[in-house]
Chains A and B, each alone.
Chain A
Amino acid sequence: MEYVHAIDNNELERWPQLFTEDCLYQIIPRTDHEQGRRIGIWFCDNRGMLQDRVSSIREVNVFEPHVYRHVIGPTEIVGAQDGAWRAQTSYLVVRTMHDGEMHLFSAGRYVDEIVLEGPVARFRKRIVVPDSWRFDTLVVIPL
């Protein structure tokens, strides 16, 4: 839940801390994921890249202000591997623009590997797999 609130409450600086140092965060459409393709719309293979994304959102990129509202389904623990829990969770994201326009922005699932680092559970891997290959205008905030 911390993940969702970090994003939806515009506390993006908290978001990279939910991942391990050598994490993988990717957004790749369902059809490409099923075909085993390598490139989606977003690829970060360490926490530094996540932090770079956040600072780029804050300081560099040009876009109309908007917020997300994540709705998360129940998590299924799929198994355990190399000291990590493997899990999958459905999500919906509604995007609301600064002028009030609101629409369903993305639906899909998270494919995760979660590890314990001391008392803290972190994502070693979070693959966001949207059902659609089509993205409306831009995806600047992480899903």
Chain B
Amino acid sequence: MSQAVTARPPQELVSWPEPGYTRVPLSVFSDPELYAWEQDRIFRGPTWSYLGLEIEIPEAGDYVTTQVGDTPVIVLRKPDGSINALVNRCVHKGSIICYEAKGNRARAKNLTCPYHNWIYDFDGNLTSVAFEKGIQGKGGMPPDFDKSRHRLLRLRVETIRGLIFGTFSERTPPLRDYLGPVMVQHMERTLHGKPRILGRYSQFMRNTNWKLYVENSRDNYHPSLLHAFFSTFKLNRLSAEGGTRQDDRSWHHITFTKRHTDKGDQAYDSGMIRAMKQDYGLKDPSLIDQWMEYPDQITNSIQSIFPGFVLQQILNSIGTRQVITRGVNDCELVWTLLGFEQDTEEQTCVRVKQSNLVGPAGLVSMEDGAIGGFVQKGIRGDLDCAAIIEMGGREVGSQPTRATETSVRGFWKVYRELMDV
């Protein structure tokens, strides 16, 4: 089931300038052959990919279509309440079977390919081939054609707090083991009630290899420097209490801030930080009013799960981000903004107002959409160069600071392991 069309193994495509994770060869962001291997070894390898929310498919027969890396996937609620994830590709000619973003197949009780009407049950078994016995005794499939030998590939599925994950590999540990207790605890903490979808949109990141976005989501060195909105309003400065947490293997990452503990630092007052705007004020400061939603006093946290899932808490803006690969040069980010069933109307209004901080028009996050493109443009012509990732040392692991790139190193540690480069 290899995606890699190339005969050359990854080790021949890229060479790391030195051991460890402090240098990253820039060619990894633009090599189409490496991209093909990533589909195989990462997205179809021993990793869990986020597929959607349980509340998107509440009823029997409900489905949504999505992707794991490049592979199209159907996520389906079965009549017994369990969830199946099947590759959305007919075994006959390779057509996608479900061609809408979402739908319901409860009445039909099956999945039918639109091209030649091949039919599958909800577990992906091929149950019917149109004109299998021919018409009026002529044509049809050969008598020894065995439907039971053809089926839709099924992913393993597990859920946590209403988040659905799927994996292609039998080697992937169970979801909770894959995440580790630190990540599990934080997910359960962030999604503290039954979620409700308040909005959903996609951000197409032109000229941004998917790894540039995922790296960015783990990079807690950049927010107060790139995002002037964060620093000017002291929402997320490194001088506030915060830190970087990882699982034992350094595959995943959490950065968090407690904005009310910001004691300041000479570095921000020096005039050297572009993002510190001394004379800027909001006409409507209610935009950044927040209620203390979490007992841990954390006002901002970004959790990044390998390979392509992000759970955000920016003040009271809660949401999921799903990274979709779109070839070696582009990627897409699907944002789902959430509230909880128990929210008051007043709390919902705060979440709606703070939606201005995130997404492609986010006063904070819009720069994340552009910065990958800046890098992709900058590295042209110098693909034999390497990035320098030494902030906070040369190792991986949790650190009681955010002036560190420990989780970016964590990403490259996993990458090198899985890709064998």
Shortest beta-carbon distance, A63 to chain B, in Å? 6
Cβ A55 vs Cβ B280 within 8 A: yes
Output the least CB separation between A66 and chain B (Å): 11
B interface residues (Cβ-Cβ under 8 A, vs A):
197-206, 226, 228-229, 232, 277, 280, 282-284, 287, 332, 337, 348, 351-353, 355-356, 359-363, 366-367, 369-371, 373
Does A52 contact B366, Cβ atoms closer than 8 Å?
no
Contact call A140/B366, Cβ cutoff below 8 A: yes
Specify which chain A residues have a CB less than 8 angstroms from the CB of B283 in the assembled complex.
48-49, 51-52
Instruction: Check A28–B199 contact: CB distance below 8 A.
Output: yes
Docked complex Cα distance between A43 and B358 (Å): 11
Of B197, B200, B204, B228, the most chain A CB neighbours within 10 A belong to: B200
Q: Would B228 and A52 count as touching, CB distance under 8 A? A: no
**A60 CB within 8 Å of chain B:** yes
On whether the beta carbons of A52 and B199 are closer than 8 Å, the reply is no
When chains A and B are docked, how far (Å) is the Cα of A137 from the Cα of B203? Answer: 6
- Among A103-143, those with CB < 8 Å from B are 133-140
Chain A positions within 8 Å of B352 at CB level: 38-39, 43
Ranked nearest first, the 4 interchain pairs of A and B with the lowest CB-CB distance are A39-B199, A48-B283, A48-B284, A135-B360
- Note all chain B residues with C-beta closer than 8 A to A32: 199-201
Q: Closest CB of chain A to B100's CB: distance in Å?
A: 11
10 additional contacts (CB under 8 A) given A135-B204, A138-B360: A38-B348, A41-B359, A41-B362, A43-B355, A60-B229, A62-B228, A62-B371, A133-B201, A134-B201, A137-B373
CB distance from A129 to the nearest CB of B (A): 12
Minimum C-beta distance from A40 to chain B (A): 6
- Number of inter-chain CB pairs below 8 Å: 118
Chain A contacts of B232 at CB under 8 A? 60
Task: Please report the C-alpha to C-alpha distance between residue A28 and residue B337 in the assembled complex, in whole angstroms.
Answer: 13
Given A39-B352, A138-B366, residue A60 in contact with residue B277 (CB < 8 A): yes
CB pair A39–B203 under 8 Å, yes or no, is no
> How many positions in chain A have a CB within 8 Å of any CB in the partner chain?
36
Q: How far is the CA of A63 from the CA of B360 in the complex (A)?
A: 12
A56 to B332, CA, bound (A): 25
CB-CB under 8 A from A38, the residues of chain B are 198-199, 348, 352
In angstroms, Cα B356 to Cα A43, docked, is 6
Main secondary structure of the interface of B (DSSP, over half): mixed
Q: Considering residues B229, B353, B361, which has the most beta carbons from chain A within 10 angstroms of its beta carbon?
A: B361
Chain B residues contacting A61 (CB-CB under 8 Å) are: 228-229, 363, 366-367
Judge whether B367 and A39 touch: CB under 8 Å: no
Partner of B199, one of A40, A46, A63: A40
Within 8 A of B (CB), among A15-50: 27-29, 31-32, 37-46, 48-49
* Alpha-carbon separation in the docked complex, A48 to B356 (Å): 14
Write out the residue numbers on chain B whose beta carbons fall within 8 Å of the beta carbon of A64: 370, 373
Q: Which chain A residue lies CB-closest to B206? A: A137
Chain A residue with the shortest CB-CB distance to B199: A39
A39: B residues at CB distance < 8 A: 198-199, 337, 351-352, 355
Contacts known (A32-B201, A41-B201); A62 close to B226, Cβ less than 8 A: yes
Contact of B204 among A27, A40, A136 (CB under 8 A): A136
Cross-interface CB contact of B370 among A44, A49, A137, cutoff 8 Å: A137
Please tell me if the beta carbons of A137 and B202 are within 8 angstroms of each other in the complex.
no
Q: What chain B residues lie within 8 Å of A56 (beta carbons)?
A: 229, 363
- Contacts A/B (CB < 8 Å), 29 sampled: A29-B201, A37-B200, A38-B198, A38-B199, A39-B351, A39-B352, A40-B355, A41-B360, A42-B361, A43-B356, A44-B356, A49-B284, A52-B287, A56-B363, A60-B280, A60-B363, A61-B366, A61-B367, A62-B228, A64-B370, A134-B201, A134-B202, A135-B204, A137-B203, A137-B360, A137-B370, A138-B203, A139-B366, A140-B361
Interface-centre pick from B201, B287, B351, B369 (highest chain A CB count, 10 A): B201
Tell me which residues across on chain A come within 8 A of B337, comparing CB atoms.
39
Q: Output the least CB separation between A137 and chain B (Å).
A: 5
Q: List B contacts of A82 (CB < 8 A).
A: none
Answer whether residue A2 sits at the interface, using C-beta atoms and an 8 A cutoff. Answer: no
CA distance A29 to B360 in the complex (A): 12
Q: Which residues of B contact A40 (CB under 8 A)?
A: 199, 201, 355
Q: How far is the CB of A47 from chain B (nearest CB, A)?
A: 8
**How near does chain B come to A130, taking the closest CB pair, in angstroms?**
9
- State A43–B283 Cα separation when bound (angstroms): 15
Name the contact of B356 in the complex, choosing from A42, A55, A135 (C-beta under 8 A).
A42
- Chain B residue numbers with a CB within 8 Å of A134 are 201-204, 332
Residues on A with beta carbons closer than 8 Å to the beta carbon of B356: 42-44, 49
Cβ–Cβ contact A137 & B198, under 8 A = no
Chain A residue contacts of B363, Cβ below 8 A = 53, 56, 60-61
CB distance from B202 to the nearest CB of A (A): 4
Q: Which residues of B contact A51 (CB under 8 A)?
A: 283
Max count, chain B CB within 10 A of own CB: residue among A27, A135, A138: A138
Q: How far is the CA of A43 from the CA of B355 in the complex (A)?
A: 7
Q: How near does chain B come to A133, taking the closest CB pair, in angstroms? A: 5
Chain A nearest Cβ from B123, distance in angstroms: 30
